[in-house]
Chains A and B, each alone.
Chain A
Amino acid sequence: MRELLVGTKKGLFVLRGETPGAFEIVTRTFEGSVVEYAMRDPRSGRYFASVTSGFFGPRLMWTEDPAGEWEHADTLAMPHDTDTTLERIWVVRTGEAPGQLWAGVDPAALFESRDGGGTWELNRGLWDQPSRPDWSPGNGGLCLHSISTWPGDPLRLSLGISAVGTWHTDDGGRTWTRGTKGLIPRYMPEELRETSMDLCVHNLWRPPSMPERLFLQFHGGVYRSDDGGSTWIDISAGLPSDFGFPIVGDPADPDRAFVIPMNADVDRITVGGRLRVYETRDAGASWAARSAGLPERDAYLTVLREAFDRDGEGDTMGLWFGATSGEVFGSVDAGGSWFTVAPRLAPVTSVRVA
């Protein structure tokens, strides 16, 4: 029995089922609000949901039982001296220290909890970056959406921010360095590409067995770094398009990663009306389509950055993604074959295995 947390534009859906096959909707909650993201901390069993009301703003909610009462983590809010307000909570990640969690938000801020998500504190090292006045938002806002921990080391962390590149710390967030060498913002004039701050990272994946490596889905380009995110090489060759949002990988194989290409930044939809996941098993030297069981025609879908997740590893790894069409798809053989998990939910913003 697997449990999936599916955030949608119309609430959180908790799905359960045996594989392969359609899952049952066991809970729908936060009706009428956008659930941007939901996850379960396997250490504590707590569930977290980023909920944004179009009327009443964003908030992080948590519970022990998604069908029961949820509590508001009200310390996840911008401190008064920042003179700003939360626009959206993009992501929550478990940290490497006991009870540690990280949350990334718009306006490009990082919060840390050290008590399992009950209380939160703004990371001042990132907030006080001198270059912050020059940071520009992407289409989704000035969003800190990707948080990659370093297995076993709570002091090391990498972030992806739209549109300000990747950021890295090795002292628990007191100081940060920006790692962007090699990222090419083709959406900028040629004369500005070397110096532009406007680097629109879409998602990061760090293989736990080779943590100095990072894969990156960029706003036009898929990249790999083998030095902890300082320098990047383009590994897009072989993909039908280098635009997309999510990227996930295989914990058992640091050369293996998966993307879902979309046409282009001006047409964010599956290429050629075919829904295909692409896999590399050689760190980006080559890519192959993994689409058995996915729609082969008339499929014009958008898969957002948090709407692709995995569980397990190796050739029995589970892969799960949802689209803004409301469909959710799954695989339990690492993309070798796919099945429909849910055919008609609301537009999907995130998918996480509980």
Chain B
Amino acid sequence: MPVVLLRSPLRDLAGGNRSIELPGATVGQVLRALEASWPKTTGWVLDERGVIRRHVNVFLNGERASADAPVAKGDRMHVLASITGGSR
């Protein structure tokens, strides 16, 4: 399974876990699995349509990835707040 790497505040919503192995064949499926395992993360990364929020970046093995990007066993997914989201 791919490994999802989290920082605060997502880490806090996921039971304090820095890294979590989660099932899924795409980035979006893995993020939905994150919501299923840790319901407090629901809506934080994906919006109602399943789109990654504009000011959240997902990096898959070091490359920025969209929700439909395929993932494989051992892949590393960093989920990070973008530098663009804090203007308000």
- A interface with B by C-beta (< 8 Å): 9, 32, 34, 52-57, 59, 72, 74, 77-80, 82-86
**Bound Cα distance A9, B45 (Å):** 21
B-side interface residues, number (CB < 8 Å): 21
Q: Find the B residue at minimum CB distance from A79.
A: B48
B53's partner among A56, A77, A82, A83 (CB-CB below 8 A) is: A56
Starting from the known contacts A53-B44, A53-B85, 8 additional A-B residue pairs (CB-CB under 8 Å) come to A56-B10, A56-B43, A57-B43, A77-B43, A80-B49, A83-B49, A84-B48, A84-B49
Contact B86 A85 (CB under 8 A): no
- Residues on B with C-beta less than 8 A from A9 are 88
Contact A85 B85 (CB under 8 A): no
- Residues on B with C-beta less than 8 A from A56 are 9-10, 43-45, 53, 55-56, 81
- Residues on A with C-beta less than 8 A from B86 are 32, 54-55
Task: Sort A-B residue pairs by CB-CB distance and give the 7 closest, nearest first.
Answer: A55-B85, A54-B85, A85-B47, A55-B81, A56-B44, A55-B55, A78-B48
Q: Please classify the interface of chain A as helix (H, G, I), strand (E, B), loop, or mixed, using the class held by over half of its residues.
A: loop
- B interface with A by C-beta (< 8 Å): 9-10, 39-40, 42-45, 47-49, 51, 53, 55-56, 81-82, 85-88
Q: Find the A residue at minimum CB distance from B9.
A: A56
- Residues on B with C-beta less than 8 A from A72 are 40, 42-43
**Bound Cα distance A52, B85 (Å):** 11
- Residues on A with C-beta less than 8 A from B43 are 56-57, 59, 72, 74, 77
**Bound Cα distance A59, B39 (Å):** 14
